Amino acid sequence: MGKMVLTCVLALVFGCVGAAGAVSVLHDSFQGPQGPTGLTGATGPAGQDGLDGIDGKAGRNGRDGKPGPRGPRGRAGAPGKDATPAPRVSDLGTLRCAGRSVSVITDARITARQQLRVTRKNVCIVGSTPAGVQQLSAR
């Protein structure tokens, strides 16, 4: 009984290390009496095989392999359609205009003598938009 108290005191003072040290030093006194022969007996008969367990969940996919050889050439496509002819411009106007050229007042100033000075530019009318409004481009 005194050795058991000594082990408890060492465990309280030194913690787990003290308890492990006391048990390893005093292990002979903690063992019980030996059996009648002290020898191990013969091995017994083999037991039944256990049942197979269930399969675990699948693992992650591996990396992709190397690309294979190029496949065979596909069949030829249908022939292309003829191009639609571009509309011919009938009025070339002036200043290399591809539509109709119109002279437009772009700036107006009053001089010191109270005269009106007007600046004109030729504007090329190219075509019309779907809304019917004409597009203007200054040249």
**pLDDT for residue 130:** 45
Residue 44 lies in a domain: no
Report yes or no on whether pTM surpasses 0.85.
Answer: no
By percentage, how much of the chain surpasses pLDDT 70?
A: 63
Residue 82 lies in a domain: no
Residue 54 lies in a domain: no
Residue 115 lies in a domain: yes
Residue 43 lies in a domain: no
**Domain coverage including residue 12:** 1-31
Residue 110 lies in a domain: yes
Three-state DSSP string of the chain: CHHHHHHHHHHHHHHHHHHHHHHHHCHHHHCCCCCCCCCCCCCCCCCCCCCCCCCCCCCCCCCCCCCCCCCCCCCCCCCCCCCCCCCCCCCCCCCCCCCEEEEEEEEEEECCCCCEEEEEEEEEEEEECCCCCEEEEEC
**pLDDT for residue 127:** 60
Q: Tally the domains of the chain.
A: 2
**pLDDT for residue 95:** 55
pLDDT along the chain (139 residues), means of 10: 71 73 67 66 82 85 91 91 72 60 86 92 66 47
Residue 53 lies in a domain: no
Residue 119 lies in a domain: yes
